[in-house]
Structure 1
Amino acid sequence: MVQQEAVIVRNAIKRYEKGQLVFDGLNMTVSKGSIYGLLGASGCGKTTLLSCIVGVRYLDSGEIWVLGGNPGSKGSGIPGPRVGYMPQEISLVGEFSVNSALYYFGRINGLDDEEIETRHKFFSDLLQLPPADRLVKNMSGGQQRRVSFAAALIHKPELLILDEPTVGLDPILRENIWAYLSQITEKENITVLITTHYIEETKDANKIGLMRCGKLLAESAPQKLLERFQCSYLEEAFLKLCEIQNNTLNNEVTRFKAEDTSSDVFSENEYERTKVISEYKEVSKHQISRLKIFKALLTKNGIQYFRYYGGLVFAIIFPIIQIFVFIMAIGDDPKDLKIGIVNDEAGTCGSNFGNVWNDEITCHFGNLSCRFLHNFDNSIATQEYYNKVSEASHVVQNGKLSGLLYFSQNFSEALQKRMEEGVFTKDSDLLASQIQVSLDMSDRQIGLFLQMKLFKRFLEIYKDIMKDCKYSSKLANPPIRFEEPIYGTTDLNYADYVAPTYMLTLIFFLATTVSTTLIITDRMQGVWDRSIVQGVKTEDILLSHIFIQSISIAIHTVMIVLLFFPIWGLECKGSIFTVIVLTFLVGFCGLMHGFIISVMCKDHIMANYCSAGSFYPLLIMSGCIWPVEGMPKGLRWFSYALPTTLPSISLRGVIYKGYSISESQVYIGFLLSIGWILCSFMMTILRVRSKSL
């Protein structure tokens, strides 16, 4: 007798997160080999009850037995292939064709491809399915529901749970479905638990349950319920039950059952019977290979990834665009700058290039300001001449000039005295021998660039003057000498400094974006939960996503390395293999970061906020824009813990210093990346296993 009940729910209590009561001591019994119609208004908790029965959600208190065991218990087969589940949502991947949808659900439930093909043909006729190659996202709502219905039936489960399967279907097809359900319950002893908006269509059910305010108002055969209330239609009986419940002071209604069943009072005998059932465990008929399930997941993820053409274009074109924009926009010297010239010594100079002559006693200078300004081309700034310093300063203040140069009237003569008289030179001559430069330093990078260029220009001209005077050109050198760098080159520009961090930041957020999008799509479409109901492990879903997206990360890694090194010409003094491996690991960190975001957020909008919100702090504190050493010490240590900072330092060591992985500066980046990957994966697993997901 104990095995005659497919589903038993006793004293079920369930609340939503905000404390709203969904079930208030709900009791329900579904017999094996029967059709049970669960009716109730939208929002009354029917879908929540079904998700508890299949083991996706849990009761706050009370007990559920399904096919002789507790959902989720070892050997119960629930979740697993013993149940077929059609959620209220379509719960199919939009990139699935009819064929790939049925093959996916058939394979994860242990069917061979030949069996799937045979049943596909059968359901195509029964449910009038669209052509096998039609994509789910291109189907009408009714067509999608028919495919979803076929996916739940494909493996002939012992218990079939259908959440409003006939919504949007035409009456004839609805009649065909009910006829088929009646057939499989009678001939194959399959149990069907179905919810529907169409109350009258449940007249063909063996038993119906009318759910309202967290309880079942009635649980009885349809005909006996009509006789009890002397009604012609089930809707009338339902309305009368609702009136009785509303008029009852304690909000409890006597549940009317068939005469051949026990009363609704949960007697001691029935309690003992359910105790026996709770101890009964029926092991699944056969265990499905996790490898077979994993292969099905890989196929599903591959279809989902490679048929999402917009995402595929993004994954391929976006990194190319980003790198070319970086190469074109970062690192070159500023162009089209303008600088004001006030030359009281020689005016606009014209064809006067300045004079230096030696009379065998001393060296004489004339109009050296013109020599300094000659060939002063756009590599520094375009010259604009003004008569007064105040006039040029006003133009700088208006933002039309980047600065101004002023040459005093006796600039050349004072420079000559400065060179000849040395420490005896008057202060007035020292001042007159200077080129007075006033820059707009509100744009610091432009100001520093002009400072460097003007200083180098002065040293070059001054060395030429020393040569013309037949003096040693070394006299023009300042009393500090910068030797050849130990690492790097003297012409290393800002793009060279930024490139390693930019490479890692780019691949990190490419991986984050792709992983976040796919997993949230799975969850929002309901495919994640539906797969879990069929016995797919959370770890297998994540690992299958990791495997497919690792291919994407590998492609991005190769693209980034090719574009930066052979094409752009960035020289790598160390092992390019080390660069590739470290870049791939940081991309993998981004993948795990995306997983965390996707399991914490419920939709794409919130995920995009989280992704963008984490992007800018990571970019700013990773040393990409400014060296980490410029931060306060506390913030600096926090920066070192980020997933791109130390790996960027490691990558810079490999590229510019030729370090191997045995150097501490390099292997610390590898260790941090591996640590981030492991911690992120464990956090993701813990989150998806929690009840709140």
Structure 2
Amino acid sequence: MVQQEAVIVKNATKSYGKGQSVLNGLNMTVSRGSIYGLLGASGCGKTTLLSCVVGVRYLDSGEIWVLGGNPGSKGSGIPGPRVGYMPQEISLVGEFSVNDAFYYFGRINGLDDEEIETRQRFFSDLLQLPPADRLVKNMSGGQQRRVSFAVALIHKPELLILDEPTVGLDPILRENIWNYLIQITQQEGITVLITTHYIEETKDAHKIGLMRCGKLLAESAPQKLLERFQCSFLEEAFLKLCEAQNNTLNNEAERFKMEDASSNVLCQTEYEQTRAISEYKEVSKRQISRLKIFKALLAKNGLQYLRYYSGLIFAVLFPIIQILVFIMAIGDDPKDLKIGVVNDEAGTCGYGSNLGNVWNDEITCHFGNLSCRFLHNFDDSIATQEYYDTVSEASQAIQNGKLSGLMYFNQNFSETLQKRIEEGTFTEDSDLLASEIQVFLDMGDRQIGLFLQIKLFERFLEIYEDIMKDCKYSPKLADPPIRFEDPIFGTTDLNYADYVTPTYMLTVIFFLATTVSTALIITDRSEGVWNRSVVQGVKAEDILLSHVLIQSISIAIHTAMIVLIFFPIWGLECKGSIFTVIVLTFLVGFCGLMHGFIISVMCKNHTMANYCSAGSFFPLIVTSGCIWPVEGMPEGLRWFSYTLPTTLPSISLRGIIYKGYSISESQVYIGFLLSTGWILCSFMVTILGVRSKSS
């Protein structure tokens, strides 16, 4: 009966980028119930080969058979619990305790809690593991590696793949590990495929493969290899094989390799013919409930979230700080402004003692020093008044940045204003000009200039109306020939903060969620936890969905905080349904979460992800209507803006808050539709991105 092989690799080729060949026609055979030592320098392709064996990556060409099936094919059980995998990196969650690591890997491999506890006690004694409550991030490198080794073995896999498991361990512990590996291969029939830098420690392996430049230079039992090359140490044999490969003159190594390769091909042919259906039956018995795996993922992500204390502080304090800064910084009238006054009629008005005169002799109304009345009522609530002797002197102060504007009163201001009222259309142009308060503003700062312009005009109308009352004229004479009635929506006293608030609310929650999710997948991948979980049969979709559910809690907290601060605390009045506001805000936060996942999938590291996140923030906030209405954009840019995740929802939110619209209004439900569409499309793009990373 032909001995069945655990792993067969035929003519394997794998390249990265253009012409960067990692595996180059490699052939390898690993027998069941044996220890196979894969040796080679860093960069020779060992890790890539192992990732293909466990089904995380795929060959460009060639074939791999593992435990009777092709990795990744239906019913093969690989990726899955049939294999135990310890990557070269630690590949553990830093927020895990020893206990958490055992429970996570035990549960995703189908063990119940009692089995996990039993295995944990065994490995704690065997490997001298740190205390069960010690966090991984607080362990030494050697302790982390021991825990990583233990969790790879917890479920007693048929095939155990170990990538540099003994790096950094003391010699006694390395010997204990090798003794245990020999024991499980002999007593339990487990197959071990191990890579190591310590070439001499593989003397206890049943077979070793010497790998260089993507090929196996030789594959044989260690003792047989030493005899073949008449060496005392495996390192010497490896050096001779390297020389033979370099010089291509020594055919001994090639002949030896071909002899082993021919026997391997024979084994492969017979093995392929006798791949047993019973093996697939064995796999079906070991299939694990997807729900159980998902619960383990939720527990893992929850622990990461709760034990990442700086992240929790950020999640709670950052939105509060952002909103409070907005409330204090946006919308209030500018303060500490200065405006120059040049009054040729009454000078400094006695610095407030001269308030002007208005009297009526029952025939006509008379004005005296009326400029002082205007100046007194303008007061410092708009801007602090500073007196100058000439217009040129005040203009120079504006040019030097000392003033925001100046007001000029002609020496005949009161007299000509009286003529203007009495003579109407017969008033001369010179008198009309002299009756005006001439205001020169610094419009280099447009917002301050517009503020002064509006406030001075409004205050002038109020004062002028009072003057008409003192003259016993109709106050309506002071009204301009246009009247703004009570608005249909909103109030006349809404300020810029009221306009910005709906968009700001959605922008804040969008980028809070983006900031959090941007790092999640990158962190899982960089720590190696993602691939290690996938090797054990965890679906990428389940990992992503578990992150989504855990982070949804964060979005719900942010939504509650934003709504609470803006409405009950700040006093923003919502004329529509507050529940609709909450739902829409949560949906936009969810859009931000998915936006961050796309960035996390597409970027290789945190630095690039942060660049992408910050780079997307500024165009989004500029085109969302937060700073300026979208109606002010060119038509093409406006339509592009409508497709962004915050523009239409902001218009919807403004309609709910200020107009009292319900979700049945098109202006409202279109924001809900856009948000839902963004979430679904982003989720699909993320899934496709995750899958493409595995190729």
TM-score (norm 2): 0.97
> In the alignment, is residue 537 of structure 1 matched against residue 534 of structure 2?
no
Q: What SS does structure 1 have at the residue aligned with 2:160? A: strand
> In the alignment, is residue 325 of structure 1 matched against residue 289 of structure 2?
no
Distance 2:377 2:430 in 1: 29
> Match for residue 119 of structure 2?
119
Please tell me the residue identity of whatever aligns with 1:520: I
Distance 1:182 1:77 in 2: 24
State how many pairs are aligned.
690
Please tell me the residue identity of whatever aligns with 1:292: K
The structure-2 alpha-carbon separation of the partners of 1:533 and 1:638, relative to structure 1 and needing over 3 Å to count, comes to same
The structure-2 alpha-carbon separation of the partners of 1:267 and 1:201, relative to structure 1 and needing over 3 Å to count, comes to closer
Distance 2:275 2:482 in 1: 88
Q: Please report how far the alpha carbon of residue 375 of structure 1 lies from its aligned counterpart in structure 2 after TM superposition.
A: 3.8
> Match for residue 373 of structure 2?
371
Q: Please report how far the alpha carbon of residue 263 of structure 1 lies from its aligned counterpart in structure 2 after TM superposition.
A: 3.4
Q: What SS does structure 1 have at the residue aligned with 2:94? A: coil
The structure-2 alpha-carbon separation of the partners of 1:119 and 1:458, relative to structure 1 and needing over 3 Å to count, comes to same
> Match for residue 631 of structure 2?
629
Q: Please report how far the alpha carbon of residue 282 of structure 1 lies from its aligned counterpart in structure 2 after TM superposition.
A: 2.4
Q: Please report how far the alpha carbon of residue 692 of structure 1 lies from its aligned counterpart in structure 2 after TM superposition.
A: 5.8
Q: Is the 8 A contact 1:65 1:278 kept in 2?
A: no
The structure-2 alpha-carbon separation of the partners of 1:420 and 1:31, relative to structure 1 and needing over 3 Å to count, comes to same
Q: Please report how far the alpha carbon of residue 256 of structure 1 lies from its aligned counterpart in structure 2 after TM superposition.
A: 3.1
Q: Equivalent pairs: percent with the same residue?
A: 85
> Match for residue 235 of structure 1?
235
Deviation per CA, 1:87-124, whole angstroms, max 9, x where unpaired?
A: 00000111000100110000000000111011101100
> Match for residue 30 of structure 2?
30
Q: Is the 8 A contact 1:216 1:255 kept in 2?
A: no
Deviation per CA, 1:27-78, whole angstroms, max 9, x where unpaired?
A: 0000000000000011101000000000001100000000000000011100
Q: Please report how far the alpha carbon of residue 371 of structure 1 lies from its aligned counterpart in structure 2 after TM superposition.
A: 0.3
> Match for residue 520 of structure 1?
522
> Match for residue 193 of structure 1?
193
Q: Please report how far the alpha carbon of residue 266 of structure 1 lies from its aligned counterpart in structure 2 after TM superposition.
A: 7.0
> Match for residue 453 of structure 1?
455
- 1:135-534 counterparts in 2 under 5 A? 135-248=135-248, 253-254=253-254, 256=256, 263-265=260-262, 269-270=266-267, 272-276=269-273, 282-283=280-281, 284=283, 285-350=285-350, 351-534=353-536
The structure-2 alpha-carbon separation of the partners of 1:466 and 1:106, relative to structure 1 and needing over 3 Å to count, comes to same
Q: Is the 8 A contact 1:220 1:256 kept in 2?
A: no
Q: What SS does structure 1 have at the residue aligned with 2:367? A: strand
Distance 1:2 1:428 in 2: 118
Q: What SS does structure 2 have at the residue aligned with 1:447? A: helix
> Match for residue 683 of structure 2?
681
For structure 1, the 5+ residue unaligned runs are: none
Deviation per CA, 1:188-224, whole angstroms, max 9, x where unpaired?
A: 0000000000000000000000001211011000011
Distance 1:277 1:67 in 2: 12
Q: Is the 8 A contact 2:220 2:260 kept in 1?
A: no
> Match for residue 552 of structure 1?
554
The structure-2 alpha-carbon separation of the partners of 1:279 and 1:373, relative to structure 1 and needing over 3 Å to count, comes to farther
> In the alignment, is residue 8 of structure 1 matched against residue 5 of structure 2?
no
Q: What SS does structure 1 have at the residue aligned with 2:12? A: strand
Q: Please report how far the alpha carbon of residue 145 of structure 1 lies from its aligned counterpart in structure 2 after TM superposition.
A: 0.3
Deviation per CA, 1:493-518, whole angstroms, max 9, x where unpaired?
A: 11111000000000001111111122
Q: Please report how far the alpha carbon of residue 277 of structure 1 lies from its aligned counterpart in structure 2 after TM superposition.
A: 5.7
The structure-2 alpha-carbon separation of the partners of 1:3 and 1:511, relative to structure 1 and needing over 3 Å to count, comes to farther
> Match for residue 618 of structure 1?
620
Q: What SS does structure 2 have at the residue aligned with 1:254? A: helix
RMSD: 1.5
Distance 2:579 2:205 in 1: 66
The structure-2 alpha-carbon separation of the partners of 1:371 and 1:75, relative to structure 1 and needing over 3 Å to count, comes to same
Distance 2:56 2:433 in 1: 84
Q: Please report how far the alpha carbon of residue 379 of structure 1 lies from its aligned counterpart in structure 2 after TM superposition.
A: 2.0
> Match for residue 87 of structure 1?
87
Q: Please report how far the alpha carbon of residue 682 of structure 1 lies from its aligned counterpart in structure 2 after TM superposition.
A: 0.5
Please tell me the residue identity of whatever aligns with 1:111: L
The structure-2 alpha-carbon separation of the partners of 1:229 and 1:458, relative to structure 1 and needing over 3 Å to count, comes to same
Deviation per CA, 1:607-646, whole angstroms, max 9, x where unpaired?
A: 0000000001110000000000000000000000000000
Q: Is the 8 A contact 2:81 2:286 kept in 1?
A: no
Tell me which protein shows more helix as a share of its residues.
Answer: 2
Distance 1:8 1:452 in 2: 83
The structure-2 alpha-carbon separation of the partners of 1:267 and 1:75, relative to structure 1 and needing over 3 Å to count, comes to closer
Distance 2:298 2:205 in 1: 39
The structure-2 alpha-carbon separation of the partners of 1:255 and 1:45, relative to structure 1 and needing over 3 Å to count, comes to farther
Deviation per CA, 1:218-257, whole angstroms, max 9, x where unpaired?
A: 1000011011111111001101111111110699951637
Q: Is the 8 A contact 2:420 2:431 kept in 1?
A: yes
Please tell me the residue identity of whatever aligns with 1:322: Q
Q: What SS does structure 2 have at the residue aligned with 1:690? A: helix
Deviation per CA, 1:169-198, whole angstroms, max 9, x where unpaired?
A: 000000000000000000000000000000
Distance 1:393 1:2 in 2: 103
Distance 1:233 1:262 in 2: 22
Q: Is the 8 A contact 1:103 1:113 kept in 2?
A: yes
Q: Please report how far the alpha carbon of residue 656 of structure 1 lies from its aligned counterpart in structure 2 after TM superposition.
A: 0.3
Moved more, 241-250 or 476-485: 241-250
Moved more, 642-651 or 213-222: 213-222
Please tell me the residue identity of whatever aligns with 1:248: T
Moved more, 242-251 or 583-592: 242-251
Q: What SS does structure 1 have at the residue aligned with 2:256? A: coil
The structure-2 alpha-carbon separation of the partners of 1:585 and 1:104, relative to structure 1 and needing over 3 Å to count, comes to same
Q: Is the 8 A contact 1:225 1:256 kept in 2?
A: no
Please tell me the residue identity of whatever aligns with 1:675: G
The structure-2 alpha-carbon separation of the partners of 1:178 and 1:241, relative to structure 1 and needing over 3 Å to count, comes to same
Q: Please report how far the alpha carbon of residue 279 of structure 1 lies from its aligned counterpart in structure 2 after TM superposition.
A: 8.1
> Match for residue 646 of structure 1?
648
Please tell me the residue identity of whatever aligns with 1:282: Y
Q: Please report how far the alpha carbon of residue 377 of structure 1 lies from its aligned counterpart in structure 2 after TM superposition.
A: 3.0
Q: Please report how far the alpha carbon of residue 278 of structure 1 lies from its aligned counterpart in structure 2 after TM superposition.
A: 6.5
Distance 2:94 2:225 in 1: 42
Distance 1:16 1:500 in 2: 48
Distance 1:527 1:649 in 2: 42
Distance 1:423 1:35 in 2: 110
The structure-2 alpha-carbon separation of the partners of 1:653 and 1:115, relative to structure 1 and needing over 3 Å to count, comes to same
Q: What SS does structure 2 have at the residue aligned with 1:28? A: strand
Q: Is the 8 A contact 1:2 1:277 kept in 2?
A: no
Distance 1:481 1:645 in 2: 32
The structure-2 alpha-carbon separation of the partners of 1:322 and 1:250, relative to structure 1 and needing over 3 Å to count, comes to farther
Distance 1:8 1:470 in 2: 108
The structure-2 alpha-carbon separation of the partners of 1:2 and 1:447, relative to structure 1 and needing over 3 Å to count, comes to farther
Please tell me the residue identity of whatever aligns with 1:40: G
Please tell me the residue identity of whatever aligns with 2:577: S
Q: What SS does structure 2 have at the residue aligned with 1:364? A: strand
Q: Is the 8 A contact 1:355 1:368 kept in 2?
A: yes
Q: Please report how far the alpha carbon of residue 399 of structure 1 lies from its aligned counterpart in structure 2 after TM superposition.
A: 0.8
Please tell me the residue identity of whatever aligns with 1:233: F
The structure-2 alpha-carbon separation of the partners of 1:112 and 1:339, relative to structure 1 and needing over 3 Å to count, comes to same
